[in-house]
Amino acid sequence: MTGDRNFILKGNICYSEDVHTLRMVEQGFLICQNGKSAGVFHSIPEQFQDFLLIDCGDKLIIPGLVDLHIHAPQYSFRGLSMDLELLDWLNTNTFPEEARYGDLEYAKKAYQIFAETMKKSGTTRACIFATIHGPATELLMDFMEDTGLKTMVGKVNMDRNSPDYLCEPSAQASEAETLLWLSHTREKYKNVTPILTPRFIPSCTDDLMERLGRLKRKYRLPVQSHLSENLSEIEWVKSLCPSTGCYGEAYDQFGMFGGEEKTVMAHCVYSSEQEIELMKKRGVYVAHCPQSNTNLASGIAPIRAYLNQGLKTGLGTDVAGGSSESIFRAMADAISVSKLRWRLVDSSLKPITFEEAFYLGTMGGGSFFGEAGSFLEGYEFDALILDDSSLSHPQPLNTRERLERFIYLSDDRHIAGKYVEGKRIF
Ligand code: GUN
Ligand code: FE
């Protein structure tokens, strides 16, 4: 019965069972059977007795982290122009940098660095934006395939309100480039799948959105984009789409807002009641990006309200709006900004707890990929082994304290091992 995807990890195991419940089993046994979790036990059940036992000592074992929103081509300029708001930051930094990915030599260098970074990080699954360039996007997918992480990668669509050097010449041309990219990538990989990626409403004509909506239905593709992030952006969308009741409806009118295929929308800082209702109805995911929303002074998303209302929610780093690719950092930031919102904006919405932040960065985002982000029986076996021995402390800490401290104090040097679907990444 033993094989490379049948084994047992022994250690201090922590995982979410639901949004409020963090289960911790000290010196427990986490069973991997055919790349899936067969559960967490205090002793090894009879039927798994002959599985290879890997003793992780006193280390922590948690589910892999999920990044629902990150821009690969922006990794190169993180930490720059963080005194600008969204629309100026896009024009000053983002668009000129993304234009360079028309050059495959440049894309190769930059995407190699990005893929190596993602491999070393705590992230096991991610939704990734590339640029408008089909060939460079395929190159990024090749690199991501080799990391062993499970990712969805999107060629970006932009056919209006964009600088000449980063604007597709027509809706038809954008669709044709998308189709060509899809034909190369839809069945090419084990770990990477394409995701439709209209940048946001201001950069896509109605004609383009209609074409993308048809592709979505024909090829049953998921969708990622941006929603209700910044006040000037929202005003702009209102003027571009005067007949829609909310920003989300501007996607929904073309069938590009959840439904049969999953959609994840980044930010949702200012979503109205109407927009929230529509997201619930269509099963649209929120990618909460607290560091980006702070860096670009976008605002603070009401995540407590979204959790109360049962919206599907996970975390995103939104590199380079966010300067760190760490979902541990996103968990800590999600807690911090929820406290500021509670203190300064709305005292009826309590800050989110550590348990909830941990859920968002694992199981909350993980469900975008199916059963991922937990060790409940049947979930994909994505796991991190955490070594906090160098984060020393004069007093003994319990497992929950060690985990909480880890999300605030660790970096990738403290990640001692990583598995995706039962395969060891490092
Ligand atoms: N809205 C449209 N494009 C972008 C982008 O690249 N980053 C962020 N944060 N918001 C956007
Ligand atoms: Fe973004």
- Which ligand is in closest contact with the Cα of 317? 2
Do 59 and 167 fall within a single domain?
Answer: no
Q: To which residue do tokens 């760490």 refer?
A: 326
Q: SS3 of 25, please? A: strand
Position in ligand 1 atom list of the atom nearest CA 94: 6
In a domain, 2, yes or no: no
Mark 271-287 as b/e (b = at least 16 C-beta within 10 Å).
Answer: beeebbebbeebebbbb
In a domain, 1, yes or no: no
Do 179 and 132 fall within a single domain?
Answer: yes
Question: Which of 369, 393, 411 represents a domain boundary (last residue)?
Answer: 369
Do 69 and 59 fall within a single domain?
Answer: no
Is the C-beta atom of 321 inside 6 A of ligand 1? yes
Do 381 and 365 fall within a single domain?
Answer: no
Do 49 and 119 fall within a single domain?
Answer: no
All residue ranges of the chain with pLDDT < 70 are 1-3
Cβ-Cβ contacts under 8 Å for 414 (sequence gap 6 or more): 386, 387, 388, 390, 391, 406
Q: Residue 169: give its domain's CATH number.
A: 3.20.20.140
Half-sphere exposure of residue 32: CA atoms within 13 angstroms, side-chain side? 25
In angstroms, what is the span from residue 108 Cα to ligand 1's centroid?
22
- pLDDT for res 393: 83
Q: Which domain holds residue 150?
A: 65-369
Q: To which residue do tokens 């007093």 refer?
A: 395
Q: Residue 45: give its domain's CATH number.
A: 2.30.40.10
Q: In what order do the strands lie in the sheet with 285-288?
A: 223-227, 263-267, 285-288, 313-315
Is the C-beta atom of 159 inside 6 A of ligand 1? no
Do 131 and 161 fall within a single domain?
Answer: yes
Residue from 92, 229, 319 whose mutation best tests the ligand 1 pocket (most atoms within 8 A of CB): 229
Do 415 and 330 fall within a single domain?
Answer: no
- pLDDT for res 412: 93
**Which two structure tokens, joined as six digits, stand for 299?**
């605002």
Do 208 and 226 fall within a single domain?
Answer: yes
DSSP per residue, 186-210:
TTT-SSEEE-BEE--GGGS-HHHHH
Residues with C-beta atoms within 5 A of ion ligand 2: 266, 318
Instruction: Please report, for residues 153, 193, 240, 274, 318, the alpha-carbon distance to residue 115 in angstroms, rounded to integers and kept in the order given.
Output: 12, 15, 36, 38, 15
Contact 304, 86 (CB under 8 A): no
Nearest-CA residue for ligand 1 atom 3 is 199
In a domain, 352, yes or no: yes
Is the C-beta atom of 295 inside 6 A of ligand 1? no
In angstroms, what is the span from residue 321 Cα to ligand 2's centroid?
7
In angstroms, what is the span from residue 199 Cα to ligand 2's centroid?
8
In angstroms, what is the span from residue 318 Cα to ligand 2's centroid?
5
d(CA 139, CA 120): 19
Q: What angle do CA 299, 303, 305 make, to 5 degrees?
A: 115
- pLDDT for res 4: 73
Nearest to 322 by CA among 268, 267, 364, 269: 267
Position in ligand 1 atom list of the atom nearest CA 98: 6
- Which ligand is in closest contact with the Cα of 158? 1
Do 365 and 379 fall within a single domain?
Answer: no
Is the C-beta atom of 132 inside 6 A of ligand 1? no
In angstroms, what is the span from residue 326 Cα to ligand 1's centroid?
18
Nearest-CA residue for ligand 1 atom 9 is 321
Do 81 and 112 fall within a single domain?
Answer: yes
Residue from 68, 69, 71 whose mutation best tests the ligand 1 pocket (most atoms within 8 A of CB): 71
In a domain, 404, yes or no: yes
Do 232 and 247 fall within a single domain?
Answer: yes
- The structural domain count of the chain equals 2
Is the C-beta atom of 226 inside 6 A of ligand 1? yes
Nearest-CA residue for ligand 1 atom 11 is 226
Is the C-beta atom of 275 inside 6 A of ligand 1? no
